[in-house]
Chain A
Amino acid sequence: MKRLALRLFFVVALPALLVAAWWLTSDDSTDVYWPPLRTILTTFPDVWTGERLRADVLPSVLRLLAGYAAAAVGGVALGTVIGSYRRVRAVCEPVLEFLRAVPPPVLVPVVMLFAGIGDSMKIAVIASGCVWPVLLNTVEGVRAVDPVMSQTARSYGITGMARLRDVVLRSASPQIFAGLRQALSIGIILMVISEMFAASNGIGFTIVQFQRGFAIPDMWTGILVLGLLGFLLSLVFHLVERRVLAWYHGLRAASRRSS
């Protein structure tokens, strides 16, 4: 009980300190662009009503999830193919290096030309940015399958889909998850950016609207919502990862103990 309280203290301590510092330094601020935190917090419930959550937050989150899911599926599928065949890798690698180096936000104007300014454009932008870390990590993970494990699988006639599902993808899963984690933060950034360009709803759109209307405290609340959303998503991701990679964390703990 005491240990739990201590842990809770460590988790909460720094955020509490930062919020307190923000509160104190902004408390007597008269700067229009830098409103007191108190003002921001009192504005918060007025801005983020149930209606706004449904009309702006939900579409943003749905677009993020759609783009992220597309990137995850596409990245893992393509990465598995590229990682499995040396020839394919030799052909694809230079192209991948180039494409990866293109900053995803610059794709927004380009994708707009093809996909218009609707949801499909935003999903495409999110997916095209998120796919790289997933793809490249999957390639590395699939390449790194232990030779003894693949020989074991071969000698027991575990081939084709069974090999892919039970051996290759499971073995690569720690790296795939590392890619998925990076992709998640890229996804949130692209979600906001794509909504700032051309949109009629969404969190990014709302924040820009407030900024243009000089509703500065309202704009700040939007930033808080983004922060909270990011925090929530990474919490969910962490829980899923803990579950799926329980074996991996256990294995690492076991090998640390024995060495």
Chain B
Amino acid sequence: MKYEKKLGKTLGMGQSMLDVRGLRKVYEGSGRRVEAVGNLTFTVDAGELVCLVGPSGCGKTTLLKCVAGLLTPTSGEVLLEGRPVSGPPPGMAVVFQEYGRSLFPWMRVGANVELPLRQKPLTKARRRALVADALASVGLADATGAYPWQLSGGMQQRVAIARALAYEPDVLLMDEPFAAVDAQTRADLEDLVRGLWRERGITILFVTHDIDEAVYLGERVLVLSASPTVVREQVKVDLPEARDQLRTRVAPRFAELRTRVYEQIQAAKRGTA
């Protein structure tokens, strides 16, 4: 099995893939000192899909960039499979919200997906196979020769997801990936991510400000406080593994979980405990 390495089962459930300990990020500049992330501790198990949700402007993106090794935290540490992250680690892929600025417009779709793989010691045949496989699994097998800007927003984000999949990361980080697409496309993309997760057993950390999305997608939802960010609460999503837009969203349990997360977010906005 090609993706066996990534399957939570083979690593042993419960072993944490991603370990964030006491993460704190303070921005300093022009006499202003902004504590974006307060003191953040959480873990993500191998093969788990965890959603981070918090009020707008709560430092979600800062947090994700620290996890991805794109920003250096002021204190605390991030461990990927037990190894501290000090720069972008090879086992991580990030899908950004701004697909239009994340894909390279001078490269065709196939080349965009292939570019990161060129940094890895892979044969050309293997690279081609990974690209074709990744594009096929997001339903864009026939878009290889197109330029990203010839595609719709939703399709561009699919390309970005395919690029991350082809990279075969241990952890896939997604930073509000569907915030800029329309509602119907968004539902499709949610199902796509959920499907890929189940199929391939990747570990996903999904940041969003959309409560419904967090509950629908996640196995666990971490509710963040307002800035300086800490984890307010962890909500285990005990919905069945097979979810669909029609039934899951009207299930009584979905409504309960949603309400619980929503209350926490509201309380976070007010700044009460």
Contact = CB atoms under 8 A, between A and B. Distances in A.
Interface stretch (B88-96, B203-211, B219-227): B88-96
A149 B104 contact: yes
11 contacts: A148-B101, A154-B70, A155-B70, A156-B167, A167-B104, A170-B107, A171-B106, A247-B149, A248-B105, A250-B147, A250-B150
Given A152-B96, A155-B94, A157-B116, A173 B149 contact: no
Most buried by A among B65, B105, B115, B147: B105
Given A155-B93, A156-B119, A162-B119, A251 B105 contact: yes
Contacts of A170: 104, 106-107
Contacts, number: 67
Task: Report, as a range, how many residues of chain B touch the other chain.
Answer: 20 to 34
Interface residues of A, number: 23
A170 B92 CA distance: 25
Given A149-B104, A162-B118, A170-B104, A157 B98 contact: no
A37 to B, nearest CB: 46
Interface string B54-70: 00000000000100111
A170 B94 CA distance: 22
Interface string A247-259: 1101100110000
Contact of B102 (A149, A159, A162, A250): A149
Interface in B243-260: none
Given A154-B88, A247-B105, A254 B119 contact: no
B88 A247 contact: no
A90 B68 CA distance: 31
A247 B147 contact: yes
A198 interface: no
A152 B70 CA distance: 9
Contacts of A254: 149-150
A247 B104 CA distance: 10
Nearest to B148: A251
Contacts of A166: 104, 107, 115
B115 A158 contact: yes
A151 B150 contact: no
Contacts of A158: 115-116, 119
Contacts of B65: 151
A97 interface: no
A93 interface: no
A146 interface: yes
Contacts of B149: 247, 250-251, 254-255
Main SS at interface, chain A: helix
Interface of A: 146, 148-149, 151-152, 154-159, 162, 166-167, 170-171, 173, 247-248, 250-251, 254-255
Nearest to B94: A155
Interface in B119-148: 119, 147
A168 to B, nearest CB: 11
B88 A248 contact: no
Nearest to B151: A254
Given A166-B115, A255-B149, A151 B104 contact: no
A70 to B, nearest CB: 26
Contacts of B115: 156, 158, 166
Given A149-B104, A156-B167, A159-B119, 6 more contacts: A148-B96, A149-B101, A152-B102, A154-B88, A250-B149, A255-B149
A39 to B, nearest CB: 51
B149 to A, nearest CB: 4
B88 A157 contact: yes
Most buried by B among A152, A157, A158, A162: A152
Contacts of B94: 151-152, 155
Contacts of A167: 104
Q: Which 8 A-B pairs have the closest CB atoms?
A: A156-B116, A148-B101, A254-B149, A247-B106, A155-B94, A170-B106, A251-B149, A155-B88
Nearest to B173: A155
A151 B70 contact: yes
Contacts of B107: 166, 170, 247
A167 B104 CA distance: 8
A243 B48 CA distance: 46
Contacts of B167: 156
